[in-house]
Every structure is written in structure tokens, then in C-alpha cells.
Amino acid sequence: MASYAHPQHLPAPTLAADHRTTSPLRYLGPNWYAAVMGTAIVASAGAALPSPVPHAAAVAVWALSALLLAVLLVARAGHWLRHRDQARAHLLDPAVAPFYGCLSMALLAVGGGTLTLGGGVLGERTAVAVDVVLFTAGTAIGLVAAAAIPYLMVTRHKVDPGTASPVWLLPVVAPMVSAAQGPLLLPHLPAGQWQEAMLLGSYAMFGLSLLATLLILPLIFGRLVVHGPLPLALTPALFLVLGPLGQSTTAVNSLADVAPAAIGGSYAGAFESFAVVYGVPVLGFALLWLAIALAMVVRAARAGLRFSMTWWGFTFPVGTCVTGAAGLARHTGLAAYDWLATALYVFLVAAWLIAATATLRGLLAGRLLAAPARA
């Protein structure tokens, strides 16, 4: 869930760094984890479709996301070790700090893919162990980011009027990804207290993220109405609003699937009813926002929109709507949701191919890791 912006498109004064350095790691921001998220969701959403994509293809994309995660974790560790001044500047920049939520979501997305797709490669026990590690780390980082980034925004960041951005959603939507991934791990936990704790803990993270999102969404829409469209490079960030909408729909449907085994009784039936009663209207609003965001992107394209890392915003948020629609198809039996999930997945794959190809070209040309130009 922001703009997946490259620092070149963020306010230059806050990123003013040492332009004498040639290290490619200096300007490697946390926004790069969006590429991991966008790749992982192509695999997991493809496996969740009513007619799943070929298993080998889904496994190959999951393996690519795992490789990207490993490379980025090492590169980002090098960034913190060698360029601590720039890393601290990122934390103190309200345009960059929210991207720390992407680290959590990247860990969770790859972990979930490992459990659903990696068993045949790693073995089931190893896949479960890997997901336990990634889920635990991703959830812990997500909860810290959900509290720490808003705290920094209040106490340390200078946020000017009219600068509300979909980027602000990134830290608070990370716990929602945990809520959607928890049900995958729940059947592998001991019955009784462990499974019930995972179920109710996931619902607690669902509520945490949902209420925080409801605080931020009016600020984003108000900024658009009062101050006009986002800058061209940040226009794809509008797709980030789909993240909490699609992910919350995915979460309630996935939790309803495992509720009977975890808690039983009347609560399980209530959770299944809630999945439909909540998911149908929220996914409806997601489609409305998708139409608005698409119209704004078309407008920006006509005005000269060029590729930047914000284009990864077209991937993960749309992928959550794919899994949300697939979940509603399971619980309603309505074929329309099957078709919706498939149509959104086609868009997701096309967006991923475009973003991945352009990112690779930008890396080979040295543009994406170059020092940011001053405004």
C-alpha cells in the first residue's frame, strides 16, 4: 500500500545528500520493496484465482520475488551501514518515511507465497518454517511502523497544508497484510489457544489498520478536491488506496475460511457472514476508486507522465483486489466475482510486466539509483 516513488521524485531539500558519492546504495530507499510486493502478489493472486494460473509459472514468479527480497535486504543493510546520514534523512522525510511499511509487506507477501507455492520446492516443513520467520518479522515491523511513522509525522516531520498523500497509508496498511496472511499459517499451529489467538489477533490487526485507514482517506480526498491532482510522477500513487480496500476484503474472507476450526460455534458463522456483509460494499468502493484513479492516470499520461518507481503502485494494490474478489466468489458462489478477479488479474500481470521491464532498463542505464536532481 503510497507512491512507490523513487527519491528523484521526492522533495529535493529533504534528500539533499552528498552528490560526490558514486555508491549506488546511497539513494536506495525503502520504496524499492514495492517491487518485491508487486512481484509476490502476481504469484499468490494467480494461485487464488477460480481457474489458477499454471502452477509452474506461479512458483517461478514466487521464486523471483524471494530472490528480489534477499537481494534488497542485503542492499538495504549496506545502505544503513555505509550511508547512515541518508538513512536518517529518509526517516525524517515525510515523503519517504512511510515507505518503511513496504518492508513489512514485502516480508509478509513472500512468506505467504512460500507457504502456498514453495512447499513443492522447499518441502512443507521448510516452507512453514520460512513463513513463520517472515510472518513474525513482517508483523513486528509492520506494527512498529504503524505506530512509529505517525509519531514521527506528528513530532518530527514538517507536513505542509495540502500535502496529504496516499503514501501515508503504507505504514498503517501493513498490519492488514498480516491479518490476511495469518489465516494461511493458522492450520499449522497447535489447536486450541494458539489457533484462536492467531484468529483474533488477525482480526485485531484488521481493525487497527481499518480504523487508521478511515482517518487518512478523507485527508487524501480532501487534498485532491481542494488542491487539485497530484504531481504527474506521483499520480500512480492513487492506486495505493486500493490496498487497504482489497486487502481488508481478502482478510475477512480468509479469516472466515479458518474460523470454524479455530473458534467454532456461533462465532464462526458470524465471521463468515461478516466476510460477505463487509466485503461486498468495500470492494464496490474499490471499483469506484479504481475508475477515478484510472481516469487521473490517463489525464497524467496525456500531460507527459513518464516512468518512475511510482508505477509499482499499479501492482500490489490491484493484486489485493484480485484476492478479495476471489474470496467473495468462494463465499457467495457468484460467478461475477470470478470474472472480476480474472479481469483484475489480467490488468495486474500487464502492469507488472511494464513496471518490471522499465525498472530493469532504468537500472541498467543507471537512472534509478542516481543522485536526485535538485528542484
Q: Please state which CATH class domain 7-365 belongs to.
A: mainly alpha
pLDDT tens across 118-159, in order? 999 999 999 999 999 999 999 999 999 999 999 999 999 988
Task: Give phi and psi for 188, each to the nearest 5.
Answer: -90, 0
pLDDT at 1 over 60: no
Tell me the pLDDT of the chain averaged across its residues: 92
Residues in contact with 231: Cβ distance below 8 Å, sequence separation at least 6, in sequence order: 9
- What is the model's pLDDT at position 373? 59
CB atoms inside a 10 Å sphere around CB 268: 17
pLDDT digits (tens, 9 = 90+) for 310-348: 999 999 999 999 999 999 999 999 999 999 999 999 999
In tens, the pLDDT along 279-302 reads 999 999 999 999 999 999 999 999
172: left (phi > 0), else alpha (psi -120 to 50), else beta? alpha
pLDDT digits 0-9 by tens, 47-79: 999 899 999 999 999 999 999 999 999 999 999
Evaluate whether 270 touches 37 at the Cβ level (below 8 Å): no
| Confidence (pLDDT) at 97 | 95
92-110: average pLDDT:
96
Mean pLDDT of all residues in 225-240? 95
Kindly tell me if the per-residue pLDDT of 5 is higher than 70: no
Q: Considering Cα of 304, then 310, then 316, then 317, what sign does the dihedral take?
A: negative
**Is the pLDDT at 307 greater than 90, yes or no?**
yes
Euclidean distance between CA atoms 341 and 268, whole angstroms: 25
Contacts of 181 (CB under 8 A, 6+ apart): 108, 109, 111, 112, 135, 138
Instruction: Name the residue type at position 62.
Output: W
Joined together, the cell numbers standing for residue 346 give 489480467
Four-point Cα dihedral 15, 18, 22, 26, nearest 10: -40
Mean pLDDT of 178-182: 97
Q: Are 186 and 198 in contact (CB under 8 A)?
A: yes
**CA neighbor of 369 nearest in space, from 12, 91, 8:** 8
pLDDT at 4 over 70: no
pLDDT above 80: residue 6: no
